[in-house]
Chains A and B, each alone.
Chain A
Amino acid sequence: MSGREDPGHLLYGPQPDVAGAAGYPDAPPRVGFFTDTSVCIGCKACEVACKEWNAVPEDGLRLTGMSYDNTGGLGADTWRHVAFIEQRKPLGGQEPGVWHENAENAEDTDVFAAAARLGTDAAPGPGTTTPPPDRAPEGTPAGQISPVAPDGRTELRWLMSSDVCKHCTHAACLDVCPTGALFRTEFGTVVVQEDVCNGCGYCVPACPYGVIDQRRDDGRAWKCTLCYDRLGAGMEPACAKACPTDSIQFGPLAELRERAAARVARLHAAGVTDARLYGESPDDGVGGDGAFFLLLDEPEVYGLPPDPVVTTRDLPGMWRHAALAAVSLAALAVGGFVRRPR
């Protein structure tokens, strides 16, 4: 389709110099987030730090009753959201159970050395009862978490992931914004100017990830700014700063991509075959995300779209069809007048 082979890659496709394409001649390197969910502990420090730094208002103190996630999802007043998923599935390569050889002489155990070994041992240890990751052990009722192993141990894993605005290479919210309130910063991120936004709401259904939303009492659209104010002062965003496990890593995107590739390779070598990167490829439907992830399951399990495409990829085709339809309408009207009534 001709609309997809946009020569300048303004609407679709890889765009290595996103700030340059937006009109910054000497832009600093593009920055972003690499969120490594394999080390996320679900502490929600990122959510709190984000709210604190950006003065994002409170948006309900309710319990969802579905998990430890009482935030629900990204929106106008939630710019970081920690997803929490409980699965009947062991982590690859891990030794199930809590039994330790040296448990009784605790002073002999170097816990830091033990922790450093975690997840690096490809072969499951002797006596392990870990079944293949995608097969439930025998005797497990479908869809339930239950003690399954002969020794009564439970096969279970918790997935936690801190979601955020993806700061897409081709950002639909920015493309469709009629006022120019949404703009591309010199860092390659996407930010709403709150003094320009008139609350038309167009960016809300345009976002393929369900990130940006309208603040009801305020009327304007809000989302993560990747702490534009902090970036300008040479500081890292509040969420990355607060993350105690470095699950949220901030830095130049090129460096983050290298780091992420190495991390996936390391996890695969350690037997965590579920590990995969999401949003990192410049060849995907949005030209790659400025904030990408290492996930341990399919993206939709975390509430992320498996293959998002920026809607404006098809915009040239849309305008062509609308022009044809407009001509058809005019022809139809002319047709009505051609025959004079008898």
Chain B
Amino acid sequence: MIEPDETRGAEAARDAVTGERAGRRRRRRGRGEQPMVPDAAFSSYYGRPVLNEPTWRALDIAGYLYLGGLAGASSLLAAGAEATGRPALGRPAKLGAAGAISLSLAALVHDLGRPARFLNMLRVFKPTSPMSVGSWLLAGYAPLTVAAAAADVAGRYRLPGSAATAAAAVLGPAVATYTAVLVADTAVPSWHEGYRELPFVFAGSGATAAAGLALVAAPVGEAGPARRMAVLGAALELGAFQVMKRRMGLAAEPFEQGRAHRLLRVAEVLTSGGAALAALSGRPRDRRSAAVAGAALLGGSAALRFAVFHAGVASARDPKYTVVPQRERLRARSADG
């Protein structure tokens, strides 16, 4: 199937296949960072992608990755707040978890080609499908967060409310990290090649988002755990991301180009800045800097998820990221004998 804009690109690259070095070698306008791997000559079919591009909409799916992390980590904060007697931290965390996961469910259903058939997600349980596992996880988790938030707001049913809060905290970390498996379990080079580190990136990113929400909404006096969570989460997120990029080889390149690159820089600035500001915002009357830090953390986490999403799409769009690593793999294998 050919879209009009694809046709134009194909036309530009149509001379490419007849020569010996038939690869498409695009000059990118990006300034600054050098490509991590030198441009390799490779063959392709008129520069057309090998993979079909993900059909997922960025707002729905990147938004879902973000909201799932926010909800999962918020459930941890909520349970901790309940256990340590911090009701003013617990309430926004519980409401945040319930709100975020409800929104994310709406995004998931909205992204379906046949939204009316969303219940087919629970037709089977398939451990080989991260989306099936995730659907069952959400089916258990979302009602728990809603029950926890409702009991808190109502001020009644304290025992069931606490039980729901605790149970949501058990499932929360899984909700925050399984989404990394969801995107990594594809043929998309910049998602798949990061499968070892991406869950840790998402765990850190979820922690910073939940901490950010708590910093915005909870009083400074009770937000100590959120401040520490922000610092620890930012360190985990940014650290794991660096390790991931170093281990991905050529598939790391899309993270340094175009929209993904810009989003990633924004994410780094907001997350590290927000975490630093959060660490310094512990003084009782420092309500405003806590709110600014919280907003920065929320924004940084969102930018990271969108960066990961767009880098993956870009890596699927360019045959280079599919062909060159596979070619190298074959070469290494034949060299081994």
- Give chain A's interface residues, CB within 8 Å of chain B: 11, 59-60, 62-67, 70-78, 83, 85-88, 134, 136, 142-145, 172, 175-181, 196-202, 204-215, 218-221, 297-298, 300-308, 311-312, 314-315, 317-319, 321-330, 332-337, 339-341
Name the B residues within 8 Å of A207 (CB-CB).
Answer: 51-52, 187
Among B127-135, B145-153, B255-263, B297-305, which stretch is in contact with chain A? B127-135
A-B contact pairs, 21 of them (CB 8 A): A62-B2, A65-B10, A143-B15, A145-B18, A172-B186, A178-B132, A180-B126, A201-B54, A202-B129, A205-B54, A205-B186, A210-B50, A219-B113, A300-B43, A303-B50, A317-B196, A318-B130, A318-B185, A322-B177, A328-B236, A341-B224
Among B28-36, B95-103, B201-209, which stretch is in contact with chain A? B201-209
- Give chain B's interface residues, CB within 8 Å of chain A: 1-4, 6-7, 10-11, 13-15, 17-20, 22, 42-46, 48-56, 72-73, 76-77, 80, 83-84, 111-115, 117-118, 120-121, 123-124, 126, 128-132, 135, 169, 173-174, 176-178, 180-181, 184-188, 191-192, 195-200, 202-204, 206-207, 211, 221, 224-229, 232-233, 236, 282, 312, 316, 319, 322-323, 326-327, 329-330
A75 to B48, CA, bound (A): 13
A300 to B329, CA, bound (A): 14
Known: A307-B327, A314-B195, A329-B203. A206 touches B187 (CB 8 A): yes
Name the B residues within 8 Å of A322 (CB-CB).
Answer: 174, 177-178, 180-181, 199
Name the B residues within 8 Å of A336 (CB-CB).
Answer: 77, 80, 211, 224-229, 232
The majority secondary structure among interface residues of chain B is helix
Selected from B22, B84, B326, the residue in CB contact (under 8 A) with A306 is: B326
Known: A305-B323, A308-B326. A143 touches B18 (CB 8 A): yes
Known: A305-B322, A336-B232. A83 touches B45 (CB 8 A): yes
Asked whether, in the complex, the Cβ of A180 is within 8 Å of the Cβ of B51, the reply is: no
Name the B residues within 8 Å of A87 (CB-CB).
Answer: 17-18
A198 to B124, CA, bound (A): 13
Asked whether, in the complex, the Cβ of A198 is within 8 Å of the Cβ of B120, the reply is: yes
Name the A residues within 8 Å of B53 (CB-CB).
Answer: 204-205
| Chain A: minimal CB distance from B9 (Å) | 10
Asked whether, in the complex, the Cβ of A335 is within 8 Å of the Cβ of B228, the reply is: yes
Residue of A nearest to B113 (CB): A199
Name the B residues within 8 Å of A65 (CB-CB).
Answer: 7, 10-11, 14
Selected from B45, B55, B132, B199, the residue in CB contact (under 8 A) with A204 is: B55
Asked whether, in the complex, the Cβ of B177 is within 8 Å of the Cβ of A326, the reply is: yes
Name the B residues within 8 Å of A176 (CB-CB).
Answer: 128-131, 185-186
Asked whether, in the complex, the Cβ of B118 is within 8 Å of the Cβ of A198, the reply is: yes
Asked whether, in the complex, the Cβ of B236 is within 8 Å of the Cβ of A332, the reply is: yes
A199 to B121, CA, bound (A): 11
| Chain A: minimal CB distance from B71 (Å) | 12
Asked whether, in the complex, the Cβ of B14 is within 8 Å of the Cβ of A66, the reply is: yes
Additional pairs, 17, CB under 8 Å, beyond known A62-B4, A210-B51, A336-B227 = A62-B7, A77-B1, A176-B131, A176-B186, A179-B120, A180-B124, A181-B120, A198-B112, A198-B115, A204-B52, A205-B54, A211-B52, A305-B323, A315-B130, A325-B173, A326-B176, A337-B83
Residue of B nearest to A10 (CB): B128
Name the B residues within 8 Å of A314 (CB-CB).
Answer: 184-185, 192, 195
A212 to B51, CA, bound (A): 10
Asked whether, in the complex, the Cβ of B118 is within 8 Å of the Cβ of A86, the reply is: no
A302 to B319, CA, bound (A): 12
Name the B residues within 8 Å of A143 (CB-CB).
Answer: 15, 18-20
| Chain B: minimal CB distance from A305 (Å) | 5
Asked whether, in the complex, the Cβ of A318 is within 8 Å of the Cβ of B1, the reply is: no
Name the A residues within 8 Å of B173 (CB-CB).
Answer: 325-327, 329-330
